[in-house]
Structure 1
Amino acid sequence: MRAQQNPMVLVSPELLVLLMKRDGDGQPVSVRDLADAANCHPSKIDALRNGRRKTSLYDEAVAIARRLGVDLLVLWQHTGRTVQAPAEPPFHMAAVPA
């Protein structure tokens, strides 16, 4: 089981998209490549890029920043006692009548 972590808040989805266009070596980073680096599902990276999701676990945030070649606090803001994490909208699956 994973240790409890305070989520990190993405500073700007637009900044994430911009940084993915050119990493520290000047090469583009794909959603799948970034998800592999962060050990998460590509849909999570896509949701961060599109602003549907605002938070990520600390370990994932560190891995994303490292893969993009930037300092952690360029892309992420700590949460905790002074900064509340935004509430993520609940994931709902709707039943479709047959």
Structure 2
Amino acid sequence: MGVCDGLSHCKLALVLAVLLDLLGGAALLVGVFAPLEIRGQDFGDLLVYTGALLVLASLAGWVLWYSGNIDGLTSRKELGNIGSAVDLLARTLSRKFRAYRSQR
């Protein structure tokens, strides 16, 4: 499992997204470049549209994988003094803006 450690969470969504991309890309290429006539009817357009839909559906898998790998925000304890300094700066600027607006 050491090979997959860099992929982090949601490996199933990643596999789904990659599989849909591969199938969609293959269907697109076959639909564009292969002559697919059966009894006088061309089925290339069907594969092109199907491939495009599969690639579009893979976007859902990529979004699931990406959103599953977002780590939570750091807590105030982890920030230490930096968090309190940023809070103090934000409060100070906010008060100055509010005082300036109330004077107008």
Provide the TM-score with structure 2 as the length reference. Answer: 0.26
Structure with bigger helix share is 2
Provide the TM-score with structure 1 as the length reference. Answer: 0.27
Which structure is higher in RCO with an 8 Å CA cutoff and minimum separation 6? 1
Pick the structure with greater CA Rg.
Answer: 2
